[in-house]
Amino acid sequence: MFQIRTDLALEAREMYRETTQQEIPGVEVEQKEEDFALVTRVKVLDQQGSQIMGKAEGSYITIEASGLKKADADLKDSVSQLLAKELVHLLPKKNNLRTLIVGLGNWDITPDALGPQVVSKVLVTRQYFETYNKSEDATMTSVSAISPGVMGTTGIETGEIIRGIVEKTKPDLVIAIDALASRRMERVHTTIQISTTGINPGSGIGNKRKGLNQEALGVPVLAIGVPTVVDAATLANDTIGLVVENLSSQATKGSDFYKMLKGMSDEDKYSLIREVLDPYGANVIVTTKDIDMIIKDVSHIIANGINIALHPGIELKDVNRYLQ
Amino acid sequence: MFQIRTDLALEAREMYRETTQQEIPGVEVEQKEEDFALVTRVKVLDQQGSQIMGKAEGSYITIEASGLKKADADLKDSVSQLLAKELVHLLPKKNNLRTLIVGLGNWDITPDALGPQVVSKVLVTRQYFETYNKSEDATMTSVSAISPGVMGTTGIETGEIIRGIVEKTKPDLVIAIDALASRRMERVHTTIQISTTGINPGSGIGNKRKGLNQEALGVPVLAIGVPTVVDAATLANDTIGLVVENLSSQATKGSDFYKMLKGMSDEDKYSLIREVLDPYGANVIVTTKDIDMIIKDVSHIIANGINIALHPGIELKDVNRYLQ
Amino acid sequence: MFQIRTDLALEAREMYRETTQQEIPGVEVEQKEEDFALVTRVKVLDQQGSQIMGKAEGSYITIEASGLKKADADLKDSVSQLLAKELVHLLPKKNNLRTLIVGLGNWDITPDALGPQVVSKVLVTRQYFETYNKSEDATMTSVSAISPGVMGTTGIETGEIIRGIVEKTKPDLVIAIDALASRRMERVHTTIQISTTGINPGSGIGNKRKGLNQEALGVPVLAIGVPTVVDAATLANDTIGLVVENLSSQATKGSDFYKMLKGMSDEDKYSLIREVLDPYGANVIVTTKDIDMIIKDVSHIIANGINIALHPGIELKDVNRYLQ
Amino acid sequence: MFQIRTDLALEAREMYRETTQQEIPGVEVEQKEEDFALVTRVKVLDQQGSQIMGKAEGSYITIEASGLKKADADLKDSVSQLLAKELVHLLPKKNNLRTLIVGLGNWDITPDALGPQVVSKVLVTRQYFETYNKSEDATMTSVSAISPGVMGTTGIETGEIIRGIVEKTKPDLVIAIDALASRRMERVHTTIQISTTGINPGSGIGNKRKGLNQEALGVPVLAIGVPTVVDAATLANDTIGLVVENLSSQATKGSDFYKMLKGMSDEDKYSLIREVLDPYGANVIVTTKDIDMIIKDVSHIIANGINIALHPGIELKDVNRYLQ
């Protein structure tokens, strides 16, 4: 069956409900309205839920702050703090936590550069712990960070690189940052997804990678992602949906044509979409002209959130100041 | 009437013919197949042609080299040479020509950075003529170049800035480079349009600018453009067209529904497109993930072509070497 | 006579005093210690002072904040505010002031990119005044901005470009930003010079430019500069000075050798410096490895100061938020 | 004893000879003049040689092509080919060689970005061998590449990261690229050093790293370096030398002062240098204003040389074309 590509658990669930008008079995959902953001917790509880969702079992927390479209710096700070709060709940309960931050994606391709940009803005501290041979500090925990590049530029699966580094440096936790695709442009730049499942093959824009998850790395992996593009297939699909809906409303209810429209199968839609997109080529994306600025902006918000969550001595006031 | 936005004269004509199955009155077209490229010359001869096309009277030469999608360096060189040859025909017949190259667009927005990137790669020589107070040279002509930025970053209409510089430096010719929008992704990166009409209000992606044309500047203006994006409306429109076509083929010929589909007006389509795109926001574009590399690549081809055309002492072998 | 190259009036005066132990005739100096900065006002009052200083008649205000070496964000904000306060005193007394900001220097050469980087961070508003055809606003004044590039990349003297733009857009004031050379590394990054004399031929690193001053442009020109490099000749000169001093202290007072050392003329020193630097080539500079970060950082401070000074509705809290 | 810092074996030997007028024991030197370059082979044969040189035992091949200062593209190609030829001699004799290229240094600090820039230009092929599960190819060998960043940005010693990756991907050879410091500005940009000893603690600009050498990684390591800066201490030292020489020539031979000058010890010089440089701070370097362009340029030459050396199917004509 054709599925509009989304990396957001929230949207996978939305799509299922749109088609079936039911909640996905094996999936639990909880929503909470904050002043400036809607927080949705999707828990994929079992294999059935996982298969329907196309997402690994685990928790997916989505922060949607539609106000982020406007340049409101106070809101940005609030989102960083909310992200920090959510992260803190997910951190392993352990003193002197040691974290490796991994920025996935290609820094030379703007919509794919979110991970590397976050990495360039997080506060890296592991070298001090190593140099002074200490294991604890009142104001910070040990953080290392790397942006390994993508298979097209390294020739090596990112998972292999990270496994090598994890074996050498033995962190307690990996946080992986990646650019995502959404099915709705309104979520591009305004939505942050945190998941406890790590990164699993096939997700993320760019080449498929082997997993970055607890199974592969031997330590828990939190994934943080922000949609930076919409799949072009989504735009085509939206258009088809709207045309069909529009025509249906004009056709006599119950007429042959009405039935035909209503019965248009996913396969039919999919082959239409493929026909539409074929001349557009493989790498086609839908995004906004100001994607360069957006990536810069949102990578700040994420890096701030991580810095606050990991370093007890850092408050928002400080992180804004440490970062350029 | 709604018109899919295109900056290519070639496509404006294509679209007219698709709808009317006729050639546009007041427009002359000539095509020539080269080994590696199709060269189309569209001449807008009178006001009628100009109105239908939505393009100023003048010549529009389009070089389509679909092979540019692949990284074939010999082909790139051939396209630079073909561009140079076409430019040479359009240069004012005058010894010791003095040219000002203007890179339009915002260098911080990747798909809009074509102009600035070309400017950074053209060979600038005017300072030598000024310093040594000479007016001719066997190997080069006087070339100056500027990327003024866009109104959003300067607060000034680009036309005003260029008029000021033209008055001070009195070039014989302005060549303006701009990123364009196409209606077909297959033309993104593979098509170069040269026009004798300069840049006119409303064209180019980004803010509307007052004209950069002979009327405004007092000297001839050649415009060189390459499509770097497809308007999202185009993708929506393509999709609608395909859906309608597909449904028509399934409906009984002559049935009410068939008629309805066939009679779907441009206004209907336009309002559907608006409905589709509304949630996507204002700046939505369709492009490819590797747009950063493409802009780099194609700006080389254009700069090479300009360098060969303007400097008699420079051959292709040399220009490749001068450029980074 | 050889003069160590400095763009700071403060240092030109320092050097005169070191040699002569006197104040420069025709020059008035005033210093004020702030909590975090030393503010020195050098007024060049007449032609004699101007000739000795090698600086045009006018005021030169220098803010030295040695603490800027450390990443103390509160201090940065204080310096922005102090800069804003000084600028406000120098603005023409006029309602609805219209300002053109000019970023001098080459954005592709890191130590020369200060001007372009500041321009990319100032709040540009002129387009709103033009679009809505209004001449006043309670919260902002009309600001336009341009980074024209340098003669090596445009082929045009920067002065000519700016004159053209000034004639078209008729601002009341030009503020020009440029990277400077200091004679002391400790002033690199930590010192801001504001002058009422504009930019005059030969100053700034990079090619000589014709003036950007009231005489040339017909409107007052404020120049803001920050040292980003030390001239290599300065390092050589410092070394020679130290060697001579050291040897003098070892030689018998009054001996021939002592006299020879003490009597070493500026010409002798100059020819030694030339001999030292000759193998280093023309473009040699002394700077710090982290110059890329420093330029980013200090361009923020300057842009913040300008934004606060020009827009009545903007406070520090806001400017930090508007900027990336 | 104070030693002017140089990363070039060639210069370490030069300095020894300048002081002692002798060849270093345990070191063999061979020079060959090519049309456009001087190739010097320094072999450090035993521990004594190693200690005096401050370099590990092994071969150091230096290509000096002073013509590289000018933009002569044919010369650049010749240097790439010469580099390729030298590399081929040093490659392990083995079919289907598998190479990991490591770009050392910080890509955000221009003079330190040589390694990352080379990595971004080498042809990476390992993914094809892995995907198609093949081990040989007539036209290429398996190449992977990574720029891990520096300890200040990752928190991890580069050696640890590379060890992890080597264990996972088991290459036959590592080639490490690094920016170097020279004692002569004339060698900046014009000199390439290849060594069979890898990278050893303390070399390279930037933080000390643990070794990248056969002992640490278990596979042979070739190091390729190009000087991008001169240590500021070198400029100070050159100046002192010149002053002393100049004064000596003026002092009566045999006089006390003459003896004092001639007898100035390295310790004295060192303390003078420290006194000179102290106000300049820790990160002070001497470089050229156009360092940004130089790094771009020279990284092309190196990447071309590596590509030709590793891939039998690639000729110079091709590599120039593959690279941007």
- Tens digit of pLDDT for each residue in A90-105? 999 998 999 999 999 9
Distance in Å, alpha carbon of B196 to nearest chain D alpha carbon:
31
Range name among A188-202, A285-299, B238-252, D203-217 with the lowest pLDDT average: D203-217
List residues of chain C with CB under 8 Å from any CB of chain B.
108, 120, 124-127, 130, 142-149, 151-157, 160-161, 163-169
The ranges assigned to domains in chain D are 9-230+289-323, 235-280
Model ipTM value: 0.88
What stretches of chain A show up as alpha helix (H) in DSSP? 9-20, 47-53, 73-90, 114-119, 126-131, 151-154, 158-169, 214-217, 232-250, 256-262, 266-277, 291-310, 316-322
pLDDT at D3 over 70: no
Distance in Å, alpha carbon of B157 to nearest chain A alpha carbon:
20
Q: What residues of chain A lie within 8 A of the CB of B280, using their CB?
A: 185-186, 230, 235, 286
CB atoms within 10 A of CB D318: 16
Q: What residues of chain C lie within 8 A of the CB of A321, using their CB?
A: 71, 73-74
Residue D77: enclosing H or E segment and its boundaries?
A: helix D73-90
Furthest-apart CA atoms within chain B: distance in Å: 79
Subunits with 3+ Cβ pairs within 8 Å of B are A, C, D
Question: pLDDT tens for residues A146-193?
Answer: 999 999 999 999 999 999 999 999 999 999 999 999 988 889 889 999
CB contact under 8 A, C186 and D287: no
A297 burial class (0-12, 13-18, 19+ CB within 10 angstroms)? middle
Residues C210-243 as b/e (b if ≥16 CB within 10 A, e otherwise) read: bbbbbebbebbbbbbbbbbbbbbbbbbbbbbebb
Residue A281's region, left for phi above 0, alpha for psi from -120 to 50, else beta, is left
Question: pLDDT tens for residues B289-315?
Answer: 888 888 988 999 999 999 999 998 877
pLDDT at C323 over 50: no
pLDDT at D73 over 80: no
- Give the fold, CATH level 3, of B9-230+289-323: Rossmann fold (3.40.50)
As a whole number, mean pLDDT of residues D26-54 equals: 92
Which of D76, D79, D317, D321 is most worth mutating to test chain B (most B CB atoms within 10 A of its CB)? D321
Long-range contacts of D213-220 (CB under 8 A, 24+ apart): D213/D56, D216/D159, D216/D163, D217/D162, D217/D163, D217/D166, D217/D174, D218/D166, D219/D166, D219/D171, D219/D172, D219/D173, D219/D174, D220/D92, D220/D172, D220/D173, D220/D174, D220/D196
> What was the pLDDT predicted at C243?
85
Q: Which among B154, B160, B169 has the least Cβ separation from residue C156?
A: B169
Q: What is the C-alpha separation between D159 and D210, in angstroms, rounded? A: 6
Q: What is the C-alpha separation between A15 and A18, in angstroms, rounded? A: 5
Distance in Å, alpha carbon of D155 to nearest chain A alpha carbon:
5
Range name among A26-30, A197-201, B160-164, D207-211 with the lowest pLDDT average: D207-211
Question: pLDDT tens for residues B90-101?
Answer: 999 998 999 999
Question: pLDDT tens for residues B223-236?
Answer: 999 999 998 888 88
Question: pLDDT tens for residues C45-93?
Answer: 999 999 888 889 999 999 999 988 776 778 898 999 999 999 999 999 9
Question: pLDDT tens for residues D164-203?
Answer: 999 999 999 999 999 999 988 889 889 999 999 999 865 4
**Minimal Cα distance from A76: which residue of C?**
C321
Q: What is the C-alpha separation between B279 and A184, in angstroms, rounded? A: 8
pLDDT band at D206 (very low <50, low <70, confident <90, very high): very low
| pLDDT above 90: percentage of residues in chain B | 52
Residue carrying the six token digits 């300049």: D280
Q: What residues of chain A lie within 8 A of the CB of C315, using their CB?
A: none
> What was the pLDDT predicted at D205?
39
> What was the pLDDT predicted at D268?
81
- C-alpha dihedral sign at D166, D171, D172, D175: negative
Residues D263-301 as b/e (b if ≥16 CB within 10 A, e otherwise) read: ebeeeebbebbebbbeebeeebbbbbbbbbbbbbbbbbb
CB contact under 8 A, D322 and B297: no
Question: pLDDT tens for residues A78-87?
Answer: 999 999 999 9
Give CA separation, C140 vs A14, C81, C143, C156, D115, in Å.
Answer: 45, 17, 9, 33, 47
pLDDT band at C166 (very low <50, low <70, confident <90, very high): very high
> What was the pLDDT predicted at B64?
96
List residues of chain C with CB under 8 Å from any CB of chain A.
71, 73-74, 293, 296-297, 300, 320-322, 324
Residues C258-269 as b/e (b if ≥16 CB within 10 A, e otherwise) read: bebbeebeeeeb
Question: pLDDT tens for residues C167-202?
Answer: 999 999 999 999 999 988 889 889 999 999 999 865
Higher pLDDT, D20 or D79: D79
Range name among C85-94, C249-258, C313-322 with the lowest pLDDT average: C313-322
CB contact under 8 A, B239 and A243: yes
CB contact under 8 A, A324 and C71: no
What stretches of B122-265 show up as alpha helix (H) in DSSP? 126-131, 151-154, 158-169, 214-217, 232-250, 256-262
Q: Which among A149, A167, A169 has the least Cβ separation from residue D156?
A: A169
> What was the pLDDT predicted at D209?
45
Q: Which among A74, A297, A321 has the least Cβ separation from residue C324?
A: A297
CB contact under 8 A, A167 and D169: no
> What was the pLDDT predicted at B282?
74
C103 burial class (0-12, 13-18, 19+ CB within 10 angstroms)? buried
Distance in Å, alpha carbon of D67 to nearest chain B alpha carbon:
15
| pLDDT above 90: percentage of residues in chain D | 52
CB C81 within 8 A of CB C320: no
**Minimal Cα distance from B74: which residue of D?**
D321
> What was the pLDDT predicted at D159?
94
Higher pLDDT, D16 or D103: D103
CB contact under 8 A, A125 and D155: yes
CB contact under 8 A, B284 and A280: no
> What was the pLDDT predicted at B203?
44
Residue carrying the six token digits 């050696």: D159
Q: What residues of chain B lie within 8 A of the CB of C127, using their CB?
A: 151-152, 155-156
> What was the pLDDT predicted at A203?
44
CB contact under 8 A, C73 and A324: no
> What was the pLDDT predicted at D208?
37
CB C270 within 8 A of CB C211: no
> What was the pLDDT predicted at B119?
97
DSSP symbol at B100: E
As a whole number, mean pLDDT of residues B55-72 equals: 89
Q: What residues of chain D lie within 8 A of the CB of A143, using their CB?
A: 155
DSSP string covering C260-280, please?
HHHT--HHHHHHHHHHHHGGG
Q: What is the C-alpha separation between D137 and D312, in angstroms, rounded? A: 9
> What was the pLDDT predicted at A231?
83
Distance in Å, alpha carbon of D133 to nearest chain C alpha carbon:
43
> What was the pLDDT predicted at A208?
37
Residue type present at position A22: Q
CB B279 within 8 A of CB B104: no
Residue A32: enclosing H or E segment and its boundaries?
A: strand A27-33
Strongest mean pLDDT among A132-136, A162-166, D68-72: A162-166
> What was the pLDDT predicted at D235?
84
Distance in Å, alpha carbon of D214 to nearest chain A alpha carbon:
18
pLDDT at A322 over 70: no
Q: What is the C-alpha separation between D277 and A304, in angstroms, rounded? A: 37
Question: pLDDT tens for residues D286-304?
Answer: 888 888 888 988 999 999 9
> What was the pLDDT predicted at C324?
37
Range name among A44-58, C172-186, C200-214 with the lowest pLDDT average: C200-214
DSSP string covering A203-229, please?
-SSSS----BSHHHHSS-EEEEEEEEE
CB contact under 8 A, D165 and A160: yes
Q: Which among A74, A293, A322 has the least Cβ separation from residue C324?
A: A293
Helix B291-310 with B73-90: angle, nearest 10 deg:
50
Residue D222: enclosing H or E segment and its boundaries?
A: strand D221-231
**Minimal Cα distance from C149: which residue of B?**
B146
pLDDT band at A323 (very low <50, low <70, confident <90, very high): very low
As a whole number, mean pLDDT of residues C227-247 equals: 86
Higher pLDDT, B301 or D271: B301
Subunits with 3+ Cβ pairs within 8 Å of C are A, B, D
pLDDT at A10 over 60: yes
Distance in Å, alpha carbon of B74 to nearest chain D alpha carbon:
8
**Minimal Cα distance from A298: which residue of C?**
C324
pLDDT band at B204 (very low <50, low <70, confident <90, very high): very low
Distance in Å, alpha carbon of C312 to nearest chain A alpha carbon:
19
| Percentages (nearest 5) of helix, strand, coil residues in chain C | 45, 20, 35
What is the rounded end-to-end Cα distance, in angstroms, of chain C? Answer: 46
As a whole number, mean pLDDT of residues D88-108 equals: 95
Subunits with 3+ Cβ pairs within 8 Å of A are B, C, D
Distance in Å, alpha carbon of A321 to nearest chain C alpha carbon:
5
CB C316 within 8 A of CB C304: yes
Distance in Å, alpha carbon of A296 to nearest chain C alpha carbon:
8
Helix A232-250 with B232-250: angle, nearest 10 deg:
50
CB contact under 8 A, B108 and A286: no
Question: pLDDT tens for residues B179-189?
Answer: 999 988 889 88
CB contact under 8 A, A154 and D160: no
Helix and strand numbers (H, E) in chain C are 13, 9
Question: pLDDT tens for residues A108-127?
Answer: 888 899 999 999 999 999 99
Q: Which among A144, A147, A168 has the least Cβ separation from residue D155?
A: A144
